[in-house]
Structure 1
């Protein structure tokens, strides 16, 4: 089937990534105010309320109404569990790390997904993937060197470690997404992932999710709306243009993350971070060249 011209999908993807970058800024505000766990719990409550009527109106991928099949529900639950832990760790790290650095470090997830796909799905791991991984890891080391060199406090070290562990889980998330996308549409995935994460975090909400102050509900609502908009815009784009056209655009998320960090949190953008980003992005592009590549930032949480 002939695909449409890529201009509109490109604009849609870039707008979705802009929404995603601004969403991270709102979530950092919420995480600093009530903690990462509480911020994610309440944001997913708002997101579930938003996505429920959308899913009801659109139905499932096969056109049916009501609950999806058993296999799809199993994947929704599995991915929600991984995504929930991943998101809590990411936003915990984001509250202790500059936004641009957090986004840069998360870029290693697609490379990890290649190795996981080779181990779990039997996919071939090319020499290009190995070279790209080494290049990207050198970029991570460059960014991390400043923190372990003593110029940051212990909280920022905890934040860095949390983001790296989150990136590993995001790679697992990407592998699960490959199967999930075959069974469910974007509205179904968005609703059930948001709702299941809310339910799973609800198990510890009594202890870790105090009710946010009234003014923070606007921040959480804005975050939920931006997250939902990002998922829908990126889903629309990837349905209408090839991944090899859109995947490189994922790295523009760093631009929006750097701007949000600078404008909202007065976070400087260091030469060390910029150099690390260049190495990470170059490594990812080398590793993913001429191979179907997973989305890097479209679905963090």
Structure 2
């Protein structure tokens, strides 16, 4: 059997990544539609119902046998706690802000990741990274300024703060993932995150869970099942293409969130939101392209060193 050409593998990876982003945007719409349900309760359904989907996928691909074995429970716990808090705050933010605006603010995650990686992993803050961070932060200010102008006690300001907290914690979770890179399988990271999120969400029961009724069951079940499918699609995409190639395509979620927000929730994007989102996306793409360039340079240097040692 002939090997699949790299161009076809990359195209398949891009298709899977775009599908994952589309599915995750739909998941956020389900969460927003179930706005009467507390964020912690929504997180439980999202995580608990995704677990069977993830486990079935791991079983079908052979990743269940030995794939989730680990001794780094502390690392998985740190990643799981940060990721769970990011998910919960993000779900809460959807109750106060339009879907496109939440999506735009969450795009600042790679910008926060650059700063946290420098502080926690000792990665260098080069000129391109610093410039991208500044541009991204300007974009955040443009989006959130109208919300904060209504006063810090307003629902809009609360939604902006919750979503910014979600983005920063998502970046922290990615730092923990980077620290486990090469030592833990993707299957283990996906499994233990879902398990941790489902467990931690139960701690929010005393804060007022409610009994879903009618269509709310569909939204909650859909968020869980679709979220699990999205995790599978995103994980599978990285098997066929590099992260640096796939990352820019995640920004199509902005398009989907605008379409879904308009036709489902009647949300019209504002000019500050679009302008700020453009700057944040520009900063994110610059970071991705720079990281890819540095990765290619490091690989080339290693190859030269290997030839020299022969």
| Bin of the TM-score, shorter chain as denominator length | 0.7 to 0.9
| Conserved 8 A contact 2:47-2:197 | yes
Q: Does 1:17 find its partner at 2:18?
A: no
SS of alignment partner, residue 36 of structure 2? helix
Instruction: Give the equivalent residue in structure 2 for 1:123.
Output: 123
CA distance in 2, matches of 1:256, 1:229: 17
Which residues in structure 2 correspond to 1:215-230 (within 5 Å)?
A: 215-230=215-230
Gaps of 5+ in 1: 294-301
Question: Alpha carbons of 1:288 and 1:55: their partners in 2 closer, same or farther (altered >3 Å)?
Answer: closer
Do residues 35 (structure 1) and 38 (structure 2) align? Answer: yes
**How many pairs align?**
289
1:8 corresponds to which of 5, 12, 15: 12
Structure 2: 5+ residue stretches without partners: 294-310
Tell me which residue corresponds to 1:154: 154
| Deviation at residue 70 of structure 1 after TM alignment | 1.6
Deviates more, 1:91-100 or 1:239-248: 239-248
- Mark the CA change 1:228 to 1:42 in structure 2 (over 3 Å): closer, same or farther: closer
Instruction: Provide closer, same or farther for how the CA distance between residues 274 and 152 of structure 1 changes in structure 2, counting only shifts above 3 A.
Output: farther
Separation in 2, partners of 1:87, 1:108: 15
Q: How does 1:1-301 map to 2 (within 5 A)?
A: 3-5=6-8, 6-30=10-34, 32-58=35-61, 60=63, 64=66, 68-71=69-72, 73-150=73-150, 154-292=154-292
> Residue 43 of structure 1 contacts residue 220 of structure 1 at CA under 8 Å; is this kept in 2?
yes
Given that 2:150 and 2:156 are in contact with CA atoms closer than 8 Å, whether structure 1 keeps it comes out as: no
The residue number in structure 2 matching 1:299 is none
Larger radius of gyration: 2
Deviations 1:67-94 (A, max 9, x none): 62221x3322221111111111111111
After the TM superposition, list the runs of 4 or more consecutive aligned residues in structure 1 that deviate by more than 6 angstroms. none
Stretch of structure 1 that moved more, 239-248 or 212-221 = 212-221
TM-score, reference length from structure 2: 0.85
Contact 1:131 1:287 in 2 (8 A): no
TM-score by length of 1: 0.88
RMSD of aligned residue pairs (Cα, Å): 2.3
* Aligned mates of 1:290, 1:231 — CA distance in 2: 26
